[in-house]
Amino acid sequence: MDPTSLARGAIRKEPGGRLGVALCYPNAERLAMANLGFHAVYRLFNDDPATRCERVFLPEDGGPPRSVESGTPLAGFDVVAFSLSFEDDFIHLLELLDRAGLPLRAADRDQRHPLVVAGGIAMQINPEPVAPFLDAVLVGEGEELVGPFLAWLRVQAGRPRGELLRELARLPGTYVPGLYDVEYAGTRAGAGAGAGWVTRFQPRDGAPERVVRRYVADLSKVATSRVIESPGAQFGDLFLTEVARGCLWGCRFCAAGFVQRPYREVDLPTLRGEVKKGIAAGQRVGLVGPDTSDYSGLDPLTCFIGDQGGTFSPSSLRVDAITPLLAGRMAAGGERSITLAPEAGTPRLREVINKDFSDDRIVQAAADAMAAGMQHVKLYFMCGLPTETDEDVLGMANLAIRIREEVMAPRARVTGRMGRITLSVNPFVPKPWTPFQWQPMHDKKCLEGKRKLLTNTLRPLGIDVDFMSPREAALQALFSRGDRRCADLLELAHREFEGDVGRALRRWPHDPDFFVLREAAVEERLPWDFIDHGLTKAFLAREQRRGLGARITPKCAVETCRACGLGCADHPELKTGLPVVA
């Protein structure tokens, strides 16, 4: 492949004895290049002069996967490294391996084959549904994992595969699934009663009983921005740069808010240097973080972007952080829609999930956005949350109607134009490492009833409801809370049903309701318990009780808190919430 044909920022190295790493995103290129973590790991691998890292995506033509940079087949690399952010992509992992002519199961690969590893947020949460396909999982943040992994590979090169994997399991943050003997209780009604879920999880050959997640304690000088320009990608018009990791708020359904703890910020001078790059390239700046509004330097940073002649778009903002000033800056930068995430339709249910703001504050945020010149409102909700009632579901509709009648209709009488209101509603999916990890998902019939209640109320008013398929949500829940038995389902779907997991369920010998619709007991050993995020089960169970009682837990006080188990107050190296000098 002619390197001049590569997108700007792509890195092309000659092999020259370098370790070859295929960085695979098991989906379309446009989705991969919108993932800031994918950009970061690509850069981290290529920062090593002795390594050449090239990108591989799911081919759209059905052919064998080859790298973008040089057209090298997947099997021609020393390491195949998957970046996995979503459970929906698990089935595509098998497709990539199979198209490349590589054995699907790690146990069937030998010295002739590349080492197959994976990382990403989905692997931090629960790697077990795809564990049998992986030689190793890197648990945590790339800055702490990539360098030691590459250094280890250079030392271990040429050793027999089994010996190599036994040594790899000793590398901090590394999970080698093949070194663990696992047994489970039955999934059919009454099977394994009283035995819990995981009945045996036994490490062998020196593998650790628990794998400790690796993370960057001091993020202040760590610049993580888009590496490659990809105009065809989602958010391709944005220069993405990270402002913070972790989250202070502890929303009880959100895995990222727990497994990415503690909250850490990039300092303002570092971010100023990054946003200059995006502005110089003529792009809007995309500010990335779990809750961008928490960033202590948001006001001076957005002022700086404006002073430099740039514009910005935040990835996420809390409803109660949207002020007339911030809304004005967003509108001046070209934003025409405001996206609000109440998540639940009533104040009571928002307290259940640990969001503490009123209906009035949501309506006011929409009003501030419209007054600044925005035209449309998008509302994100979850449906089927623990303790939810029809009153809570109708609360979503009532909020949309209030915004229409109190904000948008008066404005339309002046401008002659009525903006759009859209509700995006996703069924609640219980996620590992959250206080609601033990909770069941609502069944399809229940969710369909809630969908009809919403659409029948709002459709006559011209308010759109985009409701995620309950079937798709149930599959996501299956692979979110699944164990290694789900690997058999994935392989069955891939080999016999063209990747259709729903059809393969009819032949799978296990009951999906065990994983999706069953409330797990707090004392059960869960498939993902072997990962050590620093969080205690006692803390998560306490938060579940507080949630079911609709009790708010204040946001993290990182400098003084020891509540969740991380013991942030005992780690002065954590850089967070620092005073910002404009």
In this predicted structure, what is the pLDDT of residue 333? Answer: 82
The pair of three-digit structure tokens given for residue 62, joined into one six-digit string: 């059905």
Give the mean pLDDT of 420-437.
Answer: 97
pLDDT exceeds 70 at position 73: yes
Residue 565 has pLDDT above 80, yes or no: no
Res. 576: pLDDT tops 90? no
What φ, ψ does residue 152 adopt, rounded to 5°? -65, -45
- Phi, psi (5° rounding) for residue 446? -65, -45
- E strand or H helix that includes residue 292: none
Distance CA 280, CA 310 (A): 9
More confident residue, 176 or 333: 176
CATH architecture of 3-140+142-212: 3-Layer(aba) Sandwich (3.40)
pLDDT tens digits along 384-420:
999 999 999 999 999 999 999 999 999 999 888 899 9
The DSSP bridge partners found for residue 338 are: 377
**Which pLDDT score is estimated for 191?**
52
Region 574-582: mean pLDDT is 43
- pLDDT of res. 190: 54
Region 106-126 average pLDDT = 97
Q: Where are the domains of the chain?
A: 3-140+142-212
Strand partners, 52: 20
- For the chain, the residue count is 582
Q: Does residue 258 have a pLDDT over 50? A: yes
Quick one: pLDDT band at residue 580, thresholds 50, 70, 90?
very low
Q: What is the pLDDT of residues 81-104, one digit of tens each?
A: 999 999 999 999 999 999 999 999
Whole-number average pLDDT of the chain: 93
Question: In the predicted model, what is the mean pLDDT of residues 332-353?
Answer: 94
- What is the mean predicted confidence (pLDDT) over 366-392? 96
pLDDT of the residue at 558: 75
Instruction: Render pLDDT for 438-467 as a digit per residue (tens, 0 to 9).
Output: 999 999 999 999 999 999 999 999 999 999
Q: What is the pLDDT of residues 1-43, one digit of tens each?
A: 333 346 789 999 999 889 999 999 999 999 999 999 999 999 9
Q: For the residues 301-312, what does the mean pLDDT come to?
A: 94
d(CA 323, CA 558): 25
Q: For residue 153, what pLDDT is reported?
A: 93
Q: Which residues lie closer than 8 Å to 461 by C-beta, 6 or more apart?
A: 401, 404
pLDDT band at 570 (very low <50, low <70, confident <90, very high): low
SS3 at position 339: strand
Helices (H), 342-461: 347-352, 359-371, 390-402, 409-415, 444-458
The pLDDT of residue 240 is above 50: yes
Q: Is the separation of the CB atoms in 301 and 275 below 8 Å?
A: yes
Percent of the chain with pLDDT over 90: 85
Specify which residues 306 forms β-bridges with.
none
Look at residue 334 in the predicted model and tell me its pLDDT. 84
Q: How confident is the model at residue 575 (pLDDT cuts 50, 70, 90)?
A: low
Q: What is the rounded CA–CA span in Å between residue 188 and residue 482?
A: 15
334 vs 577, residue with greater confidence: 334
- 32-50: per-residue pLDDT in tens? 999 999 999 999 999 999 9
